[in-house]
Chains A and B, each alone.
Chain A
């Protein structure tokens, strides 16, 4: 079972590698849209990349409430747990 730390680390590396976000700008509390200036298309692509890396499938409507990296972490952990 993945830990929150492992999932956070994966999200962080995806944000840095794929979205060119600076490491210092990333923390659990940051808002993907207002702090990191991502948009809805970036959010879709973030989840597509996490799906490839972690095997979690997500529907667009399930993403509507996600704002912070904590939200993404929680969703991924819940998905992994359901799959298991």
Chain B
């Protein structure tokens, strides 16, 4: 069987814009969430906090590519550019038909949509509309723009499934390499910060509002005093490569993907299903051909909503019991939506390479309705060989990825 390794990573997040910076921020228990002053002007939006990406030079993306990118695609272009440089891929390798792309986001460019639609509707005319708006708004804007910028000629799989967009991208990339369709897959996802995303969760009562005055305490996964998620932005990109291909070119290897599963609850549009979550974790273990006790750390999806955290804790407990260390890094940075699966996968690589398990920031007292899983309230220095990353999305879409420390 072909083995799949990770040979490059790139990211931008509320916790920093590189693998090293992300590690340092987690190690130092930094929080990337802040008050969004502009949201004061929006009536009936209760949540006022978000994790925003800072210090990026968008002009570094050549205009001929940037012209069709909204912020969501620009964040992806920068993370992907970083991952490709990190992997040391040549243009010839990138443009080989054996190199593909899998990338997603919940929405296309929200900001563009907010300018375009009201103007057209108000005037009942397309006069004055430029040719780029649709290319920035369309559902697969990220995958389409990345493919042209990096001249990708292999398969292109846009994975636009909200909070599982980037974990499904990594899964699709893993399966493409494992089953021989590609030798290299560039995978990830992204989301841009916008009050539309925050408002959607706010209306459903799923966004935090009690901690607007103390933003760094607002995201509290699994804690009994949590009151909802923090909507954030960011992008993660990973270069997946077939092991022999990577070894032949002397690539640096961050870790190996040994298991992946995706499944659907097929029930309620938003209510999470403990059974669905349990099923996807067991399927991923089965794909990796390992038992639950082989998993030494779990990066939970846990967004700090009431129902989601409870369901996930019970699913995790049923499969793994009370000993396996679990944390949700959304306490540090909020919920990156389409970007979370990729950035959290990179955190899993950090756990393998830095012998470091991050805490759940702001977690103090476990909600009595949660199952008694081993949620890390403090950082732990510990070597791990095999770790899991789980994500769940609206529509009952579930993903589970398993990463292993690389050994030849």
The interface of chain A, by Cβ under 8 A from chain B, is 19-20, 37, 41-42, 44-45, 48-49, 51-52, 57
Contact = CB atoms under 8 A, between A and B. Distances in A.
B127 A57 contact: yes
A36 to B, nearest CB: 11
Nearest to A37: B64
Contact of A48 (B64, B67, B130): B130
A42 B128 contact: no
B131 A45 contact: yes
A19 B131 contact: no
Interface string B268-312: 000000000000000000000000000000000000000000000
Contact of B128 (A19, A37, A41, A51): A51
Given A19-B63, A20-B63, A37-B64, A45 B130 contact: yes
A19 B128 CA distance: 17
18 contacts: A19-B63, A20-B63, A37-B64, A41-B67, A41-B131, A42-B67, A44-B130, A45-B67, A45-B130, A45-B131, A45-B132, A48-B128, A48-B130, A49-B130, A51-B127, A51-B128, A52-B128, A57-B127
A42 B130 CA distance: 9
A63 to B, nearest CB: 12
Contacts of A48: 128-131
Contacts of A20: 63
B74 to A, nearest CB: 15
Interface string B104-147: 00000000000000000000000111111000000000000000
Interface residues of B, number: 9
Q: Chain B binding site: helix, strand, loop or mixed by DSSP?
A: loop
Contacts of A37: 64
A31 to B, nearest CB: 16
Given A44-B130, A45-B131, A48-B130, 7 more contacts: A20-B63, A41-B131, A44-B131, A45-B132, A48-B131, A49-B130, A51-B127
A52 B130 CA distance: 11
Instruction: Give the most central of B127, B129, B130: most A CB within 10 Å.
Output: B130
Given A51-B127, A57-B127, A41 B63 contact: no
A41 B64 contact: no
Contacts of A49: 130
A49 B127 CA distance: 11
A38 B301 CA distance: 44
Contacts of B63: 19-20
A42 B63 CA distance: 11
Contacts of A45: 67, 130-132
Contacts of B67: 41-42, 45
Nearest to B66: A20
A50 to B, nearest CB: 11
A52 B67 CA distance: 18
Interface string B217-228: 000000000000
B174 to A, nearest CB: 35
A45 B130 CA distance: 5
Nearest to A49: B130
Nearest to A40: B131
B67 to A, nearest CB: 7
Nearest to A60: B131
Q: What are the 5 A-B residue pairs with the smallest beta carbon separation, nearest first?
A: A45-B130, A41-B131, A20-B63, A44-B131, A48-B130
